Amino acid sequence: MSLNVKTLAELLHARAEQSPNEPALRVKEGSGWVDRSWKQVAERADRIAAGILSAVDLADNDVIGLLGQTSEDWLTCDFAGLSVGLQTVPIYASLHSEEVGYAHTDTKIKLVIVDDREQLAKVRAMRDGFTFFNKEYTADDVPLKHIVVIDPAGIEPADDWESLADLEERGAAELEELRADMLRRRKAATPHQTATYTYTSGTTGPPKAVIQTHDNHLSMARSVDAADVMSDKMKEGGLFLFLPLAHSFGRLIQFAAPYKGIPLVISGIPTLADDARATRPGFFPAAPRVYEKMKSKIEGAVAGAPPTKKALFGWAIGTGKATIPYRCTGRPLPFFLSMTYGLADKLVLSKLRARLGLDRAAVLLSGSAPLDSEVHSFFLACGLDLLEAYGLTETCPGLTANRPGKLKVGTVGPPLPGVEIKIASDGEILAKGPNITQGYLNRPDATGDAFDAEGWFCTGDLGAIDDDGFVRITGRKKELIKTSGGKYVAPAKIEGQIKLLPIIQEAVVIGDRRNYCVALIAVDPEELEEWAKQIGIPPDQDHERVREAIDAHVAKVNEGLASFEDIKYWRLLPGPMTVDNGLLTASLKVKRNVVEERFAELIESMYASAKKPA
């Protein structure tokens, strides 16, 4: 049963009171999985909250930070801070020291909880001062008073940090003395008070701290509940969570769990596939790239199978695709198709779902980037309800979503309950709703630019709404390419199609104020190694067979494009795009301006050359 709470401060303890012995977290211990009850999590959160309040002097609604990967400890610490009315700032573990420092000075973090020695080193480095986007910050600009380390392995004892275990032990000792103040702080929190700041990736300047209130997040939890995107059908398997909690997509899953009373299954990117098979979750959220890789691995395995098995797989997927028009509208299958699909499911599709660990998944959710229609149709054909949704950090994070029995491939679904959507005269998607931020911390100009005169939030995305109310995304307003011939090109659409070749990690289409479009392509080393092994060549991106495969794929993509959208030439980058090499943001978005600056000569070579890549 969903909770009736007004703030995130109440959320965990209200669930623990209503469902004390039901599972809250499913975590890996050794070679097995164990459950923590809502009562256990709330009691530990109390100890941590008491430890935080006894560590430094924190006023009501003061700010603490969390720097690390998704984990049981991270979640419990976040719930602990929120439960006593503190603002929490999640920070990506992949950020560099100066970026961590900027988050501290921008939001005025006074206490930070970090994963380990590596993250502690970043905090120590920025505490002495740093430079970020040509601005100097001194030690006096950093308000940090205390550091807590979750895993202190390999760290020499010092006065500037304490372990989470020590903080929790001290909290347990002082809990009764602090309990009244903790309850007072919890009750003092209000729906429209800031609960957390989540940073949007800065691709051209410093990242912006999106102000997110208690009501913003709870409105979104209510909305996905009403839309049946998350339901009681997922209770047994739980909500699978490997997404970074510095991203609003991950935060939605975190808060929806206690709101609905569904356990969280804690995983991580390196162990994602094994964890899904072991836990068989009821809800699986991921970015499109995860689904693309899953599809690629399945098809790679089938490619090496005997001809009869290949044929059987092809027939089963084809039969599954024939059911999509009926499943998208909630209509029953015709008799003959129902019989045929039942056989395909028994022989192939049910076994495939079981191998993926998705045999009891009621919903697979895709968000944060466009989902290719071919990938979407593949999972639907497998008998999995893969739903594409859309939103931004500023919308905490949803605006639209397809629903089970009410979906259209190629769209991001109708608006979520409580959300209004309209299309501006220039094609931009505008939105209103209780989940939408009031603006950006310390950035009045950016806040002003984010809303029109009537208070509609300007998403920056271009789109259209069909007669059934389904929204289709057509591109990013600021990323539209205008060729020298005056034609507009949406690069994201083309890049998404190029990335469907499994060995391609990223693609960047160039063509603004040019007379044709070209592409820079980065190869995925892991996928290349697997692909090269299958065809018996070395995993070298400069190998002739690799270039031939990419060239053939780009030619196939061009067949579906208008002539002015064609990719005339392409070049390979020397390696993959990563956060560490500065080509991706912490949320794994391409820094287009950095790519264009760093590889300017490579780009110019495609406009100076009349030959295709060799």
Instruction: Give per-residue pLDDT as tens, 71-111.
Output: 999 999 999 999 999 999 999 999 999 999 999 999 999 99
Would you state the pLDDT for residue 614? 41
Instruction: Give per-residue pLDDT as tens, 538-566.
Output: 999 999 999 999 999 999 999 999 899 99
In this model, does residue 150 exceed pLDDT 80?
A: yes
| pTM score, whole prediction | 0.90
Span of 215-219, 573-577, 592-596 with lowest mean pLDDT: 592-596
Proportion of the chain above pLDDT 90, given as a percent: 88
Phi, psi (deg, nearest 5) at residue 8: -65, -25
Q: What is the average pLDDT across 489-500? A: 91
Would you state the pLDDT for residue 587? 79
Would you state the pLDDT for residue 202? 61
Would you state the pLDDT for residue 544? 95
**By C-alpha distance, which of 24, 66, 21 is closest to 48?**
66
Q: Residues 595-605, buried b or exposed e (16+ Cβ, 10 A)?
A: beebbeebbee
Structure letter (DSSP) for residue 157: P
In this model, does residue 368 exceed pLDDT 90?
A: no
Band of the pLDDT at 609, cuts 50, 70, 90?
low
Band of the pLDDT at 330, cuts 50, 70, 90?
very high
Structure letter (DSSP) for residue 204: S
Contact indicator for 568, 611 with CB cutoff of 8 Å: no
- For residue 478, give every residue at least 6 positions away whose Cβ sits within 8 Å of its Cβ, in sequence order, or none: 460
d(CA 245, CA 510): 32
Angle at 411 between CA 409 and CA 412, to 5 degrees: 120
Band of the pLDDT at 237, cuts 50, 70, 90?
very high
Q: What is the average pLDDT across 319-325? A: 98
Domains of the chain: 8-23+35-217 (3.40.50.12780), 287-476 (3.40.50.12780), 481-608 (3.30.300.30)
Band of the pLDDT at 613, cuts 50, 70, 90?
very low
Would you state the pLDDT for residue 413? 98
Q: What is the average pLDDT across 114-141? A: 96
In this model, does residue 612 exceed pLDDT 70?
A: no
d(CA 437, CA 192): 10
Span of 157-171, 272-286, 366-380 with lowest mean pLDDT: 366-380
Contact indicator for 539, 528 with CB cutoff of 8 Å: yes
Instruction: Give per-residue pLDDT as tens, 401-438.
Output: 999 999 999 999 999 999 999 999 999 999 999 999 99
Band of the pLDDT at 369, cuts 50, 70, 90?
confident
Would you state the pLDDT for residue 479? 84
How high does pLDDT run on average in the chain?
95
Place of tokens 């957390």: 196
Would you state the pLDDT for residue 478? 82
Would you state the pLDDT for residue 498? 95
Would you state the pLDDT for residue 203? 57
In this model, does residue 289 exceed pLDDT 90?
A: no
